[in-house]
Amino acid sequence: MHHISIRTANIHQAIAFYEKLGFTIEERFTTGYTLACWMIGLDGRIELIQIPEPKPSPDLFNDEHYVGYYHISFDLTGKIENLTQWLEELKLKLQDLIPLKVLLEPTQQMIGDRIYEVVFIADQDQLPLEFLNRLK
């Protein structure tokens, strides 16, 4: 996959948020009439696009009837020791930017024959982000 594209109401706030997650700007550009950038981090690339007249996004996480984009998932396995500790550190990093909205507190989930720690948070535009840590 080359990248995941995210529309945002404020590209500068979005950049600051994703930088706290470990992303760095790879390229800044415009998409005809608006600001955009590619950011790399957590073994992937995202594209942020500022929307000049934004409307609130649907409740992707809680609306059981919504069809379409649900969340982006990032694998932190090998990058962290403990998901709960990582989340607390992230809250501190973000405290001057936005209050972190936790959609699902860290929990264990069995997927196939593997056990993961899983947490869901919302970015500054309320888009759900999942973070996984595979347990041994």
Report residue 103 as tokens. 């959609």
Q: Would you say residue 58 lies in a domain?
A: no
pTM score of the predicted model: 0.93
Q: What phi and psi, each to the nearest 5 degrees, are found at residue 93?
A: -60, -35
Please report whether residue 39 resides in a domain. yes
Residue 62 in any domain: the answer is: no
Structural domains counted in the chain: 2
Asked if residue 22 lies in contact with residue 129, where contact means CB atoms within 8 angstroms, the answer is no
CATH of the domain at 35: 3.10.180.10
| pLDDT per position as a tens digit, 39-95 | 999 999 999 999 999 998 888 898 888 888 889 999 999 999 999 999 999 999 999
Predicted confidence (pLDDT) at residue 26 exceeds the cutoff of 90: yes
Angstrom distance (rounded) from CA 125 to CA 120: 14
In this structure, are 87 and 44 located in the same domain? no
Q: Is 105 helix (H, G, I), strand (E, B) or coil?
A: strand
Range of the domain at 20: 1-52
